[in-house]
Structure 1
Amino acid sequence: MAKTTTRKAPIRKKATKKKASFFSTKFVVISIIILLFSFGIFHYRNAILYYFSFKSDKVLKEDKVAQARIFQILNKYKDLTVGFDVSQYQGTIDWEQIDSVENKFPLKFVLIRATAGNDKEDSQFDTNWKSAKQHHFIRGAYHYYRPNENSIDQAENFIKNVKLRKGDLPPVLDIEQLPEEQSIDSLKIGLKRWLKKVDAHYKVKPIIYTGERYYEDFLKEEFKGYTFWIANYNFFVENIQDDWTFWQFTEKATLKGINERVDLNIYNGTPKMLEYLTIN
């Protein structure tokens, strides 16, 4: 009898989900990017149209979405008070040209770096300080605090270099760094020593500048009663908080008279209210 043979069915390889998973993930990522981009275009549509308007005197800058955000925020808070801050990193400034942002939003105040650490004076401070007064800006001076240097020496460095007058803003302590050689508790003690010494000298309570995260994590609870100047450049943040007296909302502004990018700030009040904050 002839043997019957059973043909084996061909072995089918199981389809791997890896390739499909890769493409689906890629599709999701691309979709999210497109949605975010579309949201940005829609949200800033008026500002973008302004910056892309066909005007012969309009020079389009790089980073146009950042510029559109600046316009959007300034337009939203046009009843508040706008200012800027400078240091030696802005180079030599032509103060005659500075009066507004885009000829639309008047600039009323300027915060100027005076000193850093226990021995540095900003190389442009004297010139900027005098020029700000001559051009009728409400001016303020700030000290860049170095956590690993003696706080009293830093306070004395600021006092030695800064002479405040009636109409100037209170002195400003700029704290951005975390300490490398001490604890956070020790840092806070040093900050309080600086604030106390400077307060005693000028007879006015200083302002504290810091980033929002630093403020929330380390300073908000323990330094209640101080005026805060908060930095937050987040693309999606467009609202000034009630406990931010000043909001530094961008580091990418362009101003006539300054060749480098500039930080812009909003004071959470009217120009008249800002005058009440000054030294009298």
Structure 2
Amino acid sequence: MKYGDLLKDKLYPFLNIKLVNKKYGTLGFALLLIVPVFIIIILIFSFSSDSQIAVFKSHEEKIFAHYQEHIFGIDISHYQGRVEWEKVKQFKNGEKISFIIMRAAIGEDEEDQEFTTNWINVKKLGIIRGAYHYYRPDENSIKQADNFISIVNLEKGDFPPVLDIEALPNYQSIKSLKIGLIKWLNKIENHYGIRPVIYTGDSYYHDFLNDTIFQKYVFWIANFNRVKKPKHKNWKIWQFSETGQIDGINHDIDFNVFQGDIMALRKMILK
């Protein structure tokens, strides 16, 4: 339906505005002027919203195409709710899901509500699985490591433990934060016999973690901007979208690309 027909056939009759009568009256004339303006505003906002969605979807498609020789995976937590795991096999473009990393622990004493269920079901799918710890900067790093260890039982074929650091401390310096992170990383490596991976944002890394003490670690970098790669030069995993959609999960999900093929990923897993 054309915009002019919409005004004439739907809106003006509803407002009791007679187009054939030139004597609208003050209210009628005002409405005659105001209504089209409001409709134009609504159409503009609607178009803007649809355009943003299209841009993000287009960006996801471009990343899948640009990294077609690489492998892709997702990460989840209880925010995605209950997952219909029998439907979780591939992305909507047909690309296979090669790894799934899930939140296991939060801070000193919390466990993700869906971790145990997710952990068991991903194992059944035969997809490489991993677990991450959401680090709280103002809580004791050793207690946080103990919390992760008490929850996660890694097995042969699992991805290395992941430290998720994206928050800043309120009660300590950045120097103290780094010391705490190293303590967590060391304890986890000693326990599982494999070096952990660090997850963080692109800007967070450059502002706070660009330090020689972290050079030996593999980085999983989040950057949702419309770029072809993160600023971090040595990223191993790039979380490039937080608005992904796949069958079996009813909420937005994070999409990740691994810097390499499935053989490169298998070299990283627990032996």
Q: TM-score, normalised by structure 2?
A: 0.79
Measured in 1, the distance between the counterparts of 2:152 and 2:170 equals: 28
Query: Structure 1: which amino acid aligns with 2:247?
Result: K
Structure 1 residue aligned with 2:259: 268
Superimposed CA distance per residue, residues 116-170 of structure 1 (whole angstroms, 9 cap, x where no aligned partner): 0001000000000011110011000000000010000000000000000000011
Which structure is larger by alpha-carbon Rg, 1 or 2?
A: 1
Moved more, 64-73 or 87-96: 64-73
Matched, 1:247 2:242: no
Query: Structure 2: which amino acid aligns with 1:271?
Result: I
Structure 2 residue aligned with 1:165: 155
Moved more, 140-149 or 216-225: 216-225
Calculate percent identity across the aligned residue pairs: 46
Measured in 1, the distance between the counterparts of 2:228 and 2:242 equals: 15
Compute the displacement of 1:239 (Å): 2.3
Instruction: Kindly report which structure 2 residues correspond to 1:9-20, keeping only aligned pairs within 5 A, or say none.
Output: none
Superimposed CA distance per residue, residues 234-271 of structure 1 (whole angstroms, 9 cap, x where no aligned partner): 12x12255400000001000010000000000010001
RMSD, matched Cα: 1.4
Measured in 1, the distance between the counterparts of 2:90 and 2:176 equals: 42
Measured in 1, the distance between the counterparts of 2:51 and 2:115 equals: 28
* Residue number among 86, 90, 113 corresponding to 2:76 in the alignment: 86
Measured in 1, the distance between the counterparts of 2:71 and 2:161 equals: 19
Superimposed CA distance per residue, residues 181-216 of structure 1 (whole angstroms, 9 cap, x where no aligned partner): 000000000000000111110011100000001111
* Structure 1: stretches of 5+ with no match in the other structure: 1-59
Report the CA distance shift for 1:61/1:102 in structure 2 as closer, same or farther (over 3 A): farther
Measured in 2, the distance between the counterparts of 1:136 and 1:204 equals: 21
SS of corresponding position for 2:235: coil
Higher helix fraction (1 or 2):
2
* Structure 2: stretches of 5+ with no match in the other structure: 1-49
SS of corresponding position for 1:109: strand
Structure 2 residue aligned with 1:111: 101
* Residue number among 172, 192, 201 corresponding to 1:202 in the alignment: 192
Compute the displacement of 1:220 (Å): 2.4
Structure 2 residue aligned with 1:180: 170
Instruction: Kindly report which structure 2 residues correspond to 1:134-145, keeping only aligned pairs within 5 A, or say none.
Output: 134-145=124-135
Query: Structure 2: which amino acid aligns with 1:78?
Result: Q
Measured in 2, the distance between the counterparts of 1:220 and 1:129 equals: 32
Moved more, 158-167 or 217-226: 217-226
Query: Structure 2: which amino acid aligns with 1:214?
Result: Y
Compute the displacement of 1:104 (Å): 2.0
Query: Structure 1: which amino acid aligns with 2:249?
Result: I
Report the CA distance shift for 1:269/1:188 in structure 2 as closer, same or farther (over 3 A): same
Superimposed CA distance per residue, residues 45-84 of structure 1 (whole angstroms, 9 cap, x where no aligned partner): xxxxxxxxxxxxxxx9981211111011111101101000
Structure 1 residue aligned with 2:25: none
SS of corresponding position for 2:241: strand
Query: Structure 1: which amino acid aligns with 2:255?
Result: L
